[in-house]
């Protein structure tokens, strides 16, 4: 067995159906008296439900901030911080997907306030010490334990209303975390097991959700898989797939989950020649002889968009994205070469079927 180092991130995870009812106990356990509730404008109703639940337990929140925004723009963070100060909030409760969780992390980074997170998608930010922030159209990331939530409450009930297409892309976003974990520079056997199980759970549940969105077993399976994949992302490094998605999302303001979904098979195709063991494991979890083709088949089943041009990226942005992607690259098993990276982006922009011939 290869030598390895395994370090687990500290976190408290509560998983199940109806687990939101444990929120007040967790607030009290952390010694919070006036938490601020965060959400996007679309999930204000969920934020109000959280406030009502706290109120019934005698906890008065510091109010709501409902303007969490994709890619965590700095100006939104500054407005939320002003409200934290004005209301004297002593913690944050983030209910939503990556946009809301990212805002909670941005607040924690600057204030050290404790976080309780209630994910409503499969994106996985809640399990990682990674934060991405956007300023002047440029998205940067950093990793620090300061942004790790203290408590994560996975309540399957909050994912039941997640639209089928968003469920699909959010789930593939989670799969991307596990795929890159399988060839991460600091990977280890424990992460490999979690990554394989996470991919397997999502690959079997997402097609069911697309056809039968209210299937409780599939929803539970998908959230379980998403937790495993997110845990992988939180414990090992990222490679070219995540670098590309950070560049594309931050530069062109593309939807996060769609971008991950479109780029994943092409990024894997780029790395395929250098990671035969990871390719074999991914293929096995997908039940196919070839990992790249297995992803192609899965995305076809999910009926998701396959081209960046479909989600708002201009064709004349391909070269700009390639230039940014090779600047300060993340570690990658295959050397980052501009010509190859440009071809990955071009194929992803055009919506071509991924092939490991780059």
Which structure tokens are listed for 125? Answer: 């930010």
The predicted-structure confidence for 300-311, as pLDDT tens digits, reads as follows 999 999 999 999
Q: Which fold has domain 12-159?
A: Rossmann fold (3.40.50)
**pLDDT of the residue at 109:** 97
pTM here? 0.92
**pLDDT of the residue at 7:** 83
Dihedrals phi, psi of 132, to nearest 5 degrees: -110, 135
Dihedrals phi, psi of 142, to nearest 5 degrees: -150, 160
Buried b (16+ CB within 10 A) or exposed e, 134-157: beeeebeeeeeeebbbbbbbbbbe
Angle at 198 between CA 197 and CA 199, to 5 degrees: 95
Domain with CATH 1.20.1090.10 in the chain: 164-350
**pLDDT of the residue at 252:** 95
Residue 132 vs residues 150, 169, 208: alpha-carbon distances, Å? 19, 19, 31
Contact 197, 180 (CB under 8 A): no
Residue 287 vs residues 200, 278, 282, 283: alpha-carbon distances, Å? 9, 14, 9, 6
Domain with CATH 3.40.50.1970 in the chain: 12-159
**pLDDT of the residue at 59:** 96
Q: In CATH, what number does 164-350 get?
A: 1.20.1090.10
Percent helix, strand and coil across the chain, each rounded to 5? 60, 10, 30
Dihedrals phi, psi of 208, to nearest 5 degrees: -65, -45
From CA 13, how far away is CA 23, in angstroms rounded? 12
From CA 55, how far away is CA 63, in angstroms rounded? 11
Question: pLDDT at residue 315 above 80?
Answer: yes
From CA 244, how far away is CA 314, in angstroms rounded? 15
CB atoms within 10 A of CB 224: 18
């Amino acid at each position: 067995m290869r030598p390895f180092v395994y370090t687990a991130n500290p976190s408290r995870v509560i998983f199940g159906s109806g687990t939101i009812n444990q929120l007040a106990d967790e607030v009290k356990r952390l010694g919070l008296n006036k938490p601020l509730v965060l959400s996007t404008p679309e999930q204000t109703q969920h934020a109000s439900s959280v406030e009502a639940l706290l109120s019934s337990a005698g906890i008065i929140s510091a109010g709501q901030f409902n303007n969490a925004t994709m890619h965590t723009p700095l100006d939104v963070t500054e407005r939320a911080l002003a409200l934290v100060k004005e209301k004297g909030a002593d913690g944050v409760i983030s209910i939503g997907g990556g946009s809301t969780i990212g805002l909670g992390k941005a607040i924690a980074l600057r204030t050290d306030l404790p976080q309780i997170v209630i994910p409503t998608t499969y994106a996985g930010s809640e399990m990682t010490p990674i934060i991405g922030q956007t300023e002047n159209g440029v998205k940067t990331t950093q990793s620090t334990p300061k942004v790790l939530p203290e408590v994560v409450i996975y309540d399957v009930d909050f994912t039941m209303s997640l639209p089928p297409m968003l469920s699909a892309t959010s789930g593939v976003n989670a799969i991307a975390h596990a795929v890159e974990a399988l060839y991460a520079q600091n990977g280890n056997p424990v992460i490999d097991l979690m990554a394989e199980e996470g991919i397997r759970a999502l690959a079997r549940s997402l097609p069911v959700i697309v056809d039968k969105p209210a299937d409780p077993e599939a929803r539970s399976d998908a959230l379980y898989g998403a937790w495993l994949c997110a845990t992988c992302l939180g414990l090992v490094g990222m490679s070219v797939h995540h670098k590309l998605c950070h560049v594309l999302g931050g530069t062109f303001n593309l939807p996060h989950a769609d971008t991950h979904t479109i780029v994943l098979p092409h990024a894997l195709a780029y790395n395929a020649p250098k990671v035969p063991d990871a390719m074999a494991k991914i293929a096995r979890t997908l039940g196919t002889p070839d990992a790249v083709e297995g992803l192609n088949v899965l995305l076809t089943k999910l009926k998701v968009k396959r081209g960046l041009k479909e989600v708002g990226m201009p064709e004349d942005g391909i070269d700009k994205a390639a230039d940014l992607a090779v600047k300060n690259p993340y570690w990658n098993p295959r050397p980052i070469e501009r010509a190859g990276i440009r071809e990955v982006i071009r194929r992803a922009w055009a919506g071509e079927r991924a092939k490991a011939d780059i």
